[in-house]
Amino acid sequence: MANRWKNTLTYRDVTDEATFMNRRQLLAAASGLALGSIAGTAQAEDLEANSWEDITSYNNYYEFGTSKSDPAKYAHTLVTSPWTVKIDGLVDNPGDYAFDDIMSKMTVEERIYRFRCVEAWSMVVPWNGFELADLLNHAGVQSGAKYVAFETALRPDEMPGVRYPVLDWPYVEGLRLDEAMHPLTMMATGIYGKDIPNQNGAPLRLVVPWKYGFKSIKSIVRVTLTDTQPPTSWNKSNGREYGFYSNVNPEVDHPRWSQATERPLGGGLFASRQPTLMFNGYEEEVSNLYAGMDLRANY
């Protein structure tokens, strides 16, 4: 598949190949897939490398606990096969879609994306997955649809964190339809050519690389097309701190910390911070989606 954007992120920016897998091994593991490395136009020469260990052992998935290490410790309890995604609302073909059936119809490719957490740390991740637009088109988007709502699995027997009212469970998120249909927006099913680990959102998670990481909802069980803006978990929890859009923006601080810089994961607690890039480095690709909008009011 031909790339539609200038590629500046490479495996040099992502992983210690000698420790985990080299490029040749990844291509072998992903044989039969349509591969492409799609990234923003910002330069990546100064990025710290991220390992499999970084990506899979330091993340937020509050359904398994609020510590960064909790998901890796406890997410093995989540049963991911079989898995079904309900697609409903303003679509021509509503129904319960088996994960395996979805995968048989989608074109899977590799994309190396920046990932920026609202907590001001960052990493670079090599995802495998397919464009969300392909899944939505398969379901048949109706003309009245304006937004896409997402819902995470809610399984108290498998998710110890939901026993506590950290958020209003289940976790929900949403995008405007044009954001959802943008070619950069993907549904990730793997990392490094391997199935995505439970702690990273198996078997199916959203990835929207120009938004803060909490927008990339994990372990999706429902996708709903709607004509009204859907509620989102962190916005419901604290609308002052977490807006519906939550685009990465160095000029709009979180009420409790600056977003002007970020700490690249892998360099240690006292690693040098680097400037935050507008739209996380994808400004050229996505800024047109917000033309004329006040990005402070619509944060």
Q: Detail the residues annotated as belonging to a binding site.
A: 59, 62-63, 117, 152, 200, 205, 216-218
- Residue 264: beta bridge partners? 122
Is the peptide bond prior to 82 cis by the omega test (within 30 degrees of 0)?
Answer: yes
Please say whether the dihedral angle defined by the alpha carbons of residues 259, 261, 264 and 269, taken in this order, is positive or negative: negative
Binding-site members for Mo-molybdopterin are 59, 62-63, 117, 152, 200, 205, 216-218
Tell me how far apart the alpha carbons of residues 51 and 11 are, in angstroms, rounded to a whole number.
Answer: 10
- Burial of 7 by CB count in 10 Å (0-12 exposed, 13-18 middle, 19+ buried)? middle
- What letter represents residue 233's amino acid? S
Q: Contact 116/221 with Cβ under 8 angstroms? A: no
Judged by phi (left if over 0) then psi (alpha if -120 to 50, else beta), residue 8 lies in alpha
